[in-house]
Structures are given as structure tokens and as C-alpha cells.
Amino acid sequence: MKGRRRSSGSSSRVQFLGSERGRSHQAWYGLLADYYDHLYDPRRVPSAYLFLHDLFRRRGPVTSVLDIACGTFAVDLPLVKRGYEVVGRDLSEPMLRAARRNLREAERSADVARGGTAAPPRPGRATPAPPRPPPPLPGRAA
């Protein structure tokens, strides 16, 4: 008998395929939205905040952040509390309702709305940095 498989640590193995992708995606996150933040290790949010804050500090004066697929806004909330302007976009209305509830409970506000990678934020708002190419491999020309 084979031994029990250990978790890979990935967040989910659920896959949505074909024409059901959009409806299944919405139904899945609709069921999960109110419990989503409780599914993860409580150290995740403080660790993510410390990592992001340090990264933004080292990259220069970053004050605006765009989070595509912001979910419940749990990772973004500590940034908002520290004065960052965070724009959050997500395709799931239930997740956005949870995000707005989390903001209300923290007595904070942020631009949180439905959208994805094809729906950029309004002009004058946070914009993502262009991707940087990876560095060349050692011993190879660029």
C-alpha cells in the first residue's frame, strides 16, 4: 500500500476547465469568501506585510499599490493602515464583499472594485510596475 501523499503547500488543487470555468470560479469563491482568511496560517498576513513593506522601501518611495486578485484584502489591509494607497481588483463579488467588510471593521477605506488584469484602474491611480526581465544565467551572454 502506498503511503499517504504529503501536501505540496500550494493553496488549492481545484481546477476549473472549459465553459464552466467562470460559473464554477464564482460559485467556489462565493462559498469560500467568508471563511477564506481562516484557511491560512495566521502568520501569513504579518509576514506578507513585512516582506512587501521592506521590498517597497528598498525599491524607492512606493506609496501606491495595485493588487490584482485582492481577495478579502487581508494582505493589503496592513499596508493601508501604514499609509499606502492600495487599489484592489478581484473578479469575485463575494470576495470583494469580504474585502469591504474587512476595511469597514478596520475603519479604513480603499479603492476596491470588480476587475481583473483586463480592467486597469482609473487614470491617476496606482499602476503596476512594468515587469523586469530575469537576469542572464551565469556564463551566458544577455
User: Which CATH number fits the domain that encloses residue 91?
Assistant: 3.40.50.150
Q: How do residues 74-85 score in pLDDT, each as one tens digit? A: 999 999 999 999
The pLDDT value recorded for residue 51 is: 92
Range of the domain at 101: 43-114
CA 133 to CA 112: how far, in whole Å?
Answer: 29
CA 7 to CA 5: how far, in whole Å?
Answer: 7
Q: Span 69-75, mean pLDDT?
A: 90
Number of domains, the chain:
1
Instruction: Give the burial string for 7-39 (b: 16+ CB within 10 Å, else e).
Output: eeeeeeeeeeeeeeeeeeebeebeebbeebbee
Which is it for the CA torsion 119, 124, 128, 133, positive or negative?
positive
The pLDDT value recorded for residue 7 is: 44
The pLDDT value recorded for residue 96 is: 93
Q: Span 98-119, mean pLDDT?
A: 88
Average pLDDT, the chain: 75
pTM score, two decimals? 0.63
Lowest-pLDDT range of 68-72, 92-96, 110-114, 130-134 = 130-134
Structural domain includes residue 99: yes
Q: Tell me if residue 97 falls in helix, strand or coil.
A: helix
CA 103 to CA 75: how far, in whole Å?
Answer: 12
Structural domain includes residue 16: no
pLDDT band at 8 (very low <50, low <70, confident <90, very high): very low
Structural domain includes residue 138: no
Q: Span 100-113, mean pLDDT?
A: 94
pLDDT band at 123 (very low <50, low <70, confident <90, very high): very low
Q: Are 112 and 96 in contact (CB under 8 A)?
A: yes
Structural domain includes residue 137: no
| β partners of residue 88 | 67, 112
The pLDDT value recorded for residue 120 is: 57
Structural domain includes residue 37: no
